[in-house]
Amino acid sequence: MKKALLGIAFIATLMTSCKKETKDEVKEATEAVGNEMGEAMDTAAVKVDAAVDSTKVKAGETLERGAKKMDEAAEKLKEAGKK
C-alpha cells in the first residue's frame, strides 16, 4: 500500500512540474507571438506611411498638370475673345 501511495505521489509531482514547464513554455510562446505582431505592425505602419507619401506626391503632380492645362485653356479663351 505504501508503494502505491508513493507511486501516486511521485506521478502527481511529475504532473505538477510538467504543468509549470508547460505554463512557462506557453508564456514564452505568447511573448514571442506578441513581439512578432508588434514588429509586423511597425513594418505595416512604415509601408502605409510610404504609400501615403507617394500618393500625396502623385496627387500634387496631377493637380499641377491640371492647373497648367486650365491656365493654357484660359489663355486660349482670352485670345479668342480678343479676335
Q: Hey, where are the domains in the chain? A: 1-81
Cα(17)–Cα(62) distance, rounded to whole angstroms?
Answer: 67
Q: What pLDDT, on the 0 to 100 scale, is given for residue 19?
A: 65
Q: What pLDDT, on the 0 to 100 scale, is given for residue 29?
A: 83
Q: What pLDDT, on the 0 to 100 scale, is given for residue 78?
A: 84
Cα dist. 38→25, 26, 27, 51, 66 in Å?
20, 18, 16, 20, 42
CA 78 to chain centre: 53
* Structure confidence by residue, pLDDT tens digits, 34-79: 888 888 888 989 999 899 989 988 998 999 999 999 998 888 888 8
Q: If DSSP codes are grouped into helix, strand and coil, which group holds residue 1?
A: coil
pTM of the model: 0.47
Q: How confident is the model at residue 16 (pLDDT cuts 50, 70, 90)?
A: low
CA 54 to chain centre: 18
